[in-house]
Amino acid sequence: MYLKFAGGDIFIILHKNTSLLKPVVFLIIDDDVEDVELFCEAANEVSDHIYCLSASDGLEGLQILQDKNQAQPDFIFLDLNMPRLSGKQFLQMYQKTTPNYTIPVIVYSTSKLQADIEETKRLGATCFLTKPSKLRDLKDAISFILAGEWEKISSGHLVKN
């Protein structure tokens, strides 16, 4: 399900069944609507307990995080190249404006540059994932992240056993 509100777009994945499991909230910050839709579809295929919120740039992402009435995400997926406030600028602002930030930030970008990987980790990103070209690889990456298996995403790429 896709909702539009005055502050931007929200993608909400509707669930086929109900259960007592706590939903997992992803905030995806990316200006490419098609990438956001694909990401949310992949997340829903991994688990029907994932809800996706989206922001079209870093500034909108910060506004969502600072909104006390907004459900706070369990994970942030962050593109690098966006208008108004880039992913790197978002990381700098997030550290400054959010004391004791604990939400894992996964850089989710088309970049494969080692310099981007190193800089974003220095700025506080938990890990760096180059956008996979295959849906199966994206679903695997989401599964690894949910399981806390960060080591399976090495230098921006999936490491499969």
Least confident residue range of 28-37, 62-71, 131-140 = 62-71
DSSP assignment string, 49-72: TEEEEEESSHHHHHHHHH-TTSPP
Q: What is the pLDDT of residues 42-68, one digit of tens each?
A: 999 999 899 999 999 999 999 999 888
Domains of the chain (ranges, CATH numbers)? 2-158 (3.40.50.2300)
Cα angle for residues 86, 141, 98 (degrees, 5° grid) = 40
How far is it, in rounded angstroms, from Cα 160 to Cα 113? Answer: 21
Tokens of 138: 């994206």
Confidence band of 156 (pLDDT split at 50, 70, 90): low
Q: Kindly state the average pLDDT of the residues 25-44.
A: 96
pTM: 0.83
Give 103's contacts (C-beta < 8 A, 6+ positions apart). 65, 72, 73, 74, 75, 76
Write phi, then psi, for 58 (nearest 5 degrees): -60, -35
Percent of the chain's residues with pLDDT above 70: 81
Residue 6: pLDDT band by 50, 70, 90 thresholds? Answer: very low
- Return the structure tokens found at 34: 């098609």
Confidence tier at 69 by pLDDT (50, 70, 90) = confident
Rounded to whole angstroms, how far apart are CA atoms 140 and 26?
16
Give 137 or 18, the one with higher predicted confidence.
137
